[in-house]
Structure formats: C-alpha cells, structure tokens
Chain A
Amino acid sequence: MFGVLIRIDSVTKRYPDGTVAVDRLSLDIPDRSITVLVGPSGCGKTTTLRMINRMVEPTEGTILLDGKDVTQQPVNTLRRSMGYVIQNAGLFQHRTILDNIATVPRLLGWGKDRARGRARELMERVGLDAALAKRYPYQLSGGQQQRVGVARALAADPPVLLMDEPFSAVDPVVRKGLQDELLRIQAELGKTIVFVTHDIDEAVKLGTMVAVLRTGGRLAQYAPPAELLSAPADAFVEDFLGADRGIRRLSFFPATDLALLTTPIVAVDATAEQIAARATGETPYLLVTGLDGRPLGWSAPHELTAGSIDPGRLLSHGRPFVPGTDSLRAALDCAVLSPTGWAVAVGADGRVTGVVSQQTIAEAIRGAHAAVPADAPAAAPPSLSKGGPSDAKVAG
C-alpha cells in the first residue's frame, strides 16, 4: 500500500425520482492495490464505480484522482486514463481481438501499427494465444473474452483499472483462473484497481482493502479482508460474510510454521526392517510414497508386506498442501478430508516433506489467534492466501 490515489469524499447520488443510490460515501482508495466494493444488489457499488470515471455524476460530494477533482478535466480524457472492464466483457463484436485491444491507444491517436504492436504484447500478458489475434469475439469462449476485456483495459497503460463484476458471468473454474491471473497481473504491473463484485469470497480473495456496502448505498465497513473476517463491524457485515468466516479467516495464516512429522513415511519398495523402524506408534498409519517421493496413500503398518505393497489398496491421502505457499486453511482442509485425520505436506515439486495431524494444526490455529487478537486487524501478508500458482496447480 502506498499513497491514496482516489479519494471519494462524502459522495451522494440521488436520482430525480428520489432514489438514493449512494449515501454520503467516503473512501480512500490506496495506490497500487486492489480495492473491492462488495455488497448486495442495490447497494450502489456499480454507481460508485461509475462516478469515478464520470459515467454517473454525483449529486453531492467530490471525487479526487491523485488530488485533482475528476470534474476538472475533460471527461473523455479522464476515461481514457482509466481502464474499464465490464461483465460479459462488452467487446466490440465487429472488431478483431487485436483491434478490440488496440481501441484506447487508437483513441489516443497512436498509429495503427504501434497500437496493434501494443495489443499483441497485452495478449501475451493476459495469457491469450497470439493465434486468436485475427479472430472475432464470437469465436472465443467466455473466459477468453474476459481476458480480452482485461487486455483492452490495460492497453494504454492507465494507472487505474475499474472492474465492474468482470468475472461473474463465467463458470467457477474459469473464474478462479481469471482471478489468479488478475492477481498476477496486479503484482507485475502495480495498477490501482477498483473492483466491484457481489461475491464476498471473490472480495476476500482479491481485495487488499474491502468496502462492504449495504442497501441504500451506505458504507458498512472498510477494512482489509482479514480484519473483515476477524472483526465484522456489525450484524449486517457478519451476515454478509456468511457462516464459515472463522474457517475462511484461516486462509490469512501461513502454514509455514507447522511442525511436520517425517517418521511415519515409507517408500513403496521399503524392506520389512524399514517398515518396522518407521512404525513408531506415534501414528496409527504409515504414509507410502512412490519411488519419485510423491504420496501414494496411507496404510496400517501391519497391513504392509515388504516387497509387495499394492498402491491400489492404500487409503487415499487426500489433497496435499504446500507449507511454503498454502495457508492453515488448506492444511486443515487436507487433514479434515484425509481418512486418517493426517494431512500430507508436499514441496513445490510434489514430493512429500512430512505429515501433520489435526491436533497439531489446531494448536497452530490457537497460536495464530493468540498472536493476532480476534478483534484486531490480522496483518497477514496477503500474498500467502491470494491463490498463488500452487493453489491453481493442485486444483487443475
């Protein structure tokens, strides 16, 4: 977090029929981070977003961009300095992918070749195959179209990106991919992103700061996601966060410091002596790994016959977690899903680094809570929980 880039100062939007969409809203949106506006429908989140680039003019209050009132500059100049991504991408169906992305540079007066060159760069940046350049939007999947939408918004390298429920129309798997991609792009480019969603999980996953709005356009809480989960301001926010916020909060605690046990692990070609040596009684089960070090499954020691271990008869090891990048939530999830109650830890290469019990994880959770009182902001580094590449790999 750096300075404040966008200051929304007691802004109200009242329509002629008396409807109040946004009610005396004040928000300081930090530079180079993702600020999420979240809330139920009718909470004024999209209106707020659209007031930043003046697609909606506030009735009262001011919006400052980098200290300057947004109404003090020509509206189209202002808009061209902010990328805008919309639900369903809103691509120009009559233009090729390349020309869609080149739109704003062309509006800014760039030559055709330079604009298209820039568009090619961006296709690569957002993970689009260069072969799609000459295609038209109807030939792309929803997820690809949304990538084009992001590339188009980034084309003129604007400092600010406004995103209005950009991922809500794609299926969950594609959405997760797009979210991870957005975090990666944000880490690379350091844009100031204002992101509107009605999905609190998306808000918690993406946001550096999350503003929860309630119906009628009033701010309910503005806090980092970890603080939101640990200390919701009132019943509305608590309700909006849903039932399992305690579990979700765990995603802000790293699993790095979990004490891993390395004894109860045998390779699939283990001798009888090795099996006996590993079965120390600390655990009722042994984890069998393949010759490549990857987990195969659990078994009681007496059911293992040296030299003829059948991987097909082992108990499933569940989904392993990666201590370096995953959170306590992932570790707990592994332990809960494991038939033995033990979670398997692997390195980035997929090789087993140890096992850990539910009890150990529970102690780690208590320790983490003790270090960060529940009513104070948990200052966990967001990078840990932000669906890093390891997350994506395991899911795929």
Chain B
Amino acid sequence: MSGFFDIPSDLQHSWLGLVGLHLREALLPVLAGLVVSLPLAQLCVRLRWLYPPVLWVTTVLYAIPSLAFFVLLIDYTGQTELTVMIPLTVYSLVVLVPAIVDGVRSVPQETLAAATAMGFGPVRRYFQVQLPIAVPAVIAGLRVATVSSISLVSVGALIGNQGALGNLINDANIYNRPELAVNAVLSMAALAILADVLLVAVRLLLTPWMPRAGRRKQPADVPDPATAALEDAVR
C-alpha cells in the first residue's frame, strides 16, 4: 500500500514539488491580473462611461468555460502552464477590476479636494492618496481572486497534467488510489486558507490607519481623559 504522500512517478514531482507548482500556477495569474486591473480600473474611474462596458466584458469572459479557453489557446501555447495561467488571469479581472474601482472611488471627496488644493498632481495624488486608501478594497478583491485561482488550477489536468495538485485527482482514478484525490482536495484547501491568512496579514500590516474591530472605542466617541482635558482647556 502506497502512502498518502507517495506521488505516482508520471507526475514527475514530489508532493512538495506539486505544491510549489500549484502555487506558481495559481498566484502568477492573480499577480498578472492585478497588473492589468490597476490601470484598467484607473481608466474606468477617470472615464465613467468606460466602466459599464469593461464590467460587461470581464463578466462575459468569466462565463467562458476554461476548457473552451484551452481549446483556443492550445494551438498557440501548447500543453503548457501558460495555457492554464492565461484563462486564470482573465478570470481574476472580474473580481479585481470592480474591487479596485470601488476602492478608489471610496476615497472621500474632501480628501481628494484637499489633496488637489495642496498641490498634488494627478499622478502623485493617485499613488500617494487614492491607491493607499484603496488598499483594503484591493486586498479584499485579491483574497477572492487568489482562493478561486488556487481551486481553478486543477482544471489544468485536462490538458495533460498541467493541473499541479489537480493532477492527483486524475491519478486517483487511473491508479485506483482514492487517497490521492483526498490529498489533492485537502492540500488545495490548506493552500487556499494559508494564502487567505497571509493576505489578511498583509492588509493589517499595510493599514495601521484603519479602525480595528474589537478594539477599544475610538476617542471620537468616548474621549479619553487626556483628550477631554485638552478639549476643555481649549473651550
């Protein structure tokens, strides 16, 4: 009886090797999606009329089954990781573009007006004010895109073992080793949870300026003695 982590040799990887492969195939598309989404979203913010059609196109692209994508791409990119990663990149847009647009739009009007009035040019204003304030929304989008990407990589098994951990499901069938399928599902779930936790940590790190749930009430509501004394002194 083979062990839980004994991977059939046709996959040419150890379990850890598959995990690494899986992460690469899942995360590179999200990264690429982010690189495409940022300018696209900014365009949608600046040109309001562009947003509905962009949203429509990303949604339609998301509705195309990955198998159809593979059929289209396989002539150009062959049975490679790239063939798997291109559709995943396209899928990530449906989450990332609206997340970034909403995030950038959520910056209060006063903040924007103040930035303009202080002499921020449009580029500086975007990078130093709008984007940092949009970070929570962007990361919320990244969390959804990442988790879904991690699970979607497994369809790569359809084009000849390009599905990383997903290939194990195929092999479970071929070799009649159901524990491989269990391994695949559990490993992918663990990766997804881990990635999500990491993204939450990144957000906490990047946004010390956000009110934290569960913290003591803000001084705005319940003034601490020092601020109360200060306010009194001023009156």
Bound Cα distance A90, B113 (Å): 8
B214: CB under 8 A from chain A? no
Q: Name the interface size band of chain B.
A: 20 to 34
Q: CB-defined interface of B119-133 with A at 8 Å, one 1/0 digit per residue?
A: 111001000010011
B232 at interface, CB cutoff 8 A: yes
Using Cβ atoms and an 8 Å threshold, which residues of chain A touch B121? Answer: 76
A242 CB, min distance to chain B CBs, angstroms = 25
Interface pair B208/A127, CB less than 8 Å apart: no
Q: Give CA–CA (A136, B209) in the complex, Å.
A: 6
Within 8 A of A (CB), among B201-223: 207-211, 218-220, 223
- Contact in complex: A93, B111 (CB < 8 Å): yes
Question: Would you call B117 and A141 a contact (CB within 8 A)?
Answer: no
Residue contact A174 to B231, C-beta cutoff 8 Å: yes
A149 to B218, CA, bound (A): 19
Do residues A80 and B133 form an inter-chain contact, with CB atoms below 8 A?
A: no
Most buried by A among B120, B135, B223: B120
Known: A93-B133, A129-B226, A139-B220. A87 touches B116 (CB 8 A): no
User: Whole-angstrom distance from the CB of A136 to the nearest CB of chain B?
Assistant: 4
How far, in Å, is A216 (CB) from chain B's closest CB? 24
One digit per residue, 1 when the CB lies within 8 angstroms of any chain B CB and 0 when it does not, for chain A 68-110 equals 0000000111111010101111111111100000011001000
Known A-B contacts A107-B119, A107-B120; A87 and B209 likewise in contact (beta carbons under 8 Å)? no
* Contact residue among B110, B211, B226, B227 (Cβ-Cβ distance under 8 Å from A87): B110
Does A55 make an interface contact (CB < 8 A)? Answer: yes
Residues B113 and A55 in contact, CB atoms below 8 Å apart? yes
Asked whether A80 lies within 8 Å of B119 as measured between CB atoms, the reply is yes
B46 within 8 A of A: no
- A138 & B118 in contact (Cβ 8 Å cutoff): no
Q: Does B35 contact A (CB under 8 A)?
A: no
Determine if B111 and A90 form an interchain contact, defined as CB atoms under 8 angstroms apart.
yes
The residues of A that contact B114 with a CB separation of less than 8 Å are 84, 86, 89-92, 149
A201, CB-defined interface residue at 8 Å = no
Q: Which of B124, B135, B231, B235 contacts A141 (CB 8 A)?
A: B231
B108–A129 CB distance below 8 A? no
A-B contact count (CB 8 A): 107
Q: Which residue of B lies closest to A128 (CB)?
A: B230
Contact residue among B120, B218, B219, B234 (Cβ-Cβ distance under 8 Å from A177): B234
Q: Is A348 in the interface zone, CB < 8 Å from B?
A: no
Given contacts A129-B226, A139-B218, A141-B223, contact A92 B119 (CB under 8 A): no
A55-B113, A88-B110 given; A173·B219 CB < 8 A: no
A396 on the B face (CB < 8 A): yes
Interface 0/1 of A286-298, CB less than 8 Å to B: 0000000000000
Q: Is the CB of A177 within 8 A of B118?
A: no
Q: A93-B111, A138-B209, A395-B235 are in contact. Are A86 and B117 (CB under 8 A)?
A: yes
Evaluate contact between B218 and A138: CB separation under 8 angstroms.
yes
* Cα–Cα, bound, A287→B226 (Å): 39
Determine whether the beta carbon of B219 is less than 8 Å from that of A141.
yes
Point out the residues of chain A lying under 8 angstroms from B231, CB to CB: 141, 143-144, 174, 177
B-chain residues with CB within 8 Å of residue A80 when the two chains form the complex: 118-119
Question: Does A392 interact with chain B (Cβ within 8 Å)?
Answer: yes
Q: How far is the CA of A86 from the CA of B132 in the complex (A)?
A: 21
Give the distance in Å from the alpha carbon of A302 to the alpha carbon of B135 in the complex: 76
Taking CB atoms and an 8 Å cut-off, the chain B residues in 9-38 that contact chain A are none
B108 touches A90 (CB 8 A): yes
Chain A nearest CB from B223 CB (Å) reads 6
A selection of 26 A-B contacts at a CB cut-off of 8 Å is A53-B117, A77-B119, A78-B119, A79-B118, A82-B117, A84-B114, A86-B113, A88-B108, A90-B111, A92-B111, A93-B209, A94-B129, A96-B209, A104-B119, A107-B124, A127-B234, A137-B209, A138-B218, A138-B220, A139-B220, A140-B219, A140-B220, A141-B227, A143-B231, A144-B231, A396-B235
Binding site for A on B (CB under 8 A): 108, 110-111, 113-121, 124, 129, 132-133, 135, 207-211, 218-220, 223, 226-227, 230-235
Known: A107-B124, A129-B230, A392-B235. 16 other contacts (CB 8 A): A79-B116, A79-B117, A79-B118, A80-B118, A87-B110, A89-B110, A90-B114, A95-B209, A104-B119, A127-B233, A141-B220, A141-B231, A142-B220, A143-B231, A149-B114, A177-B231
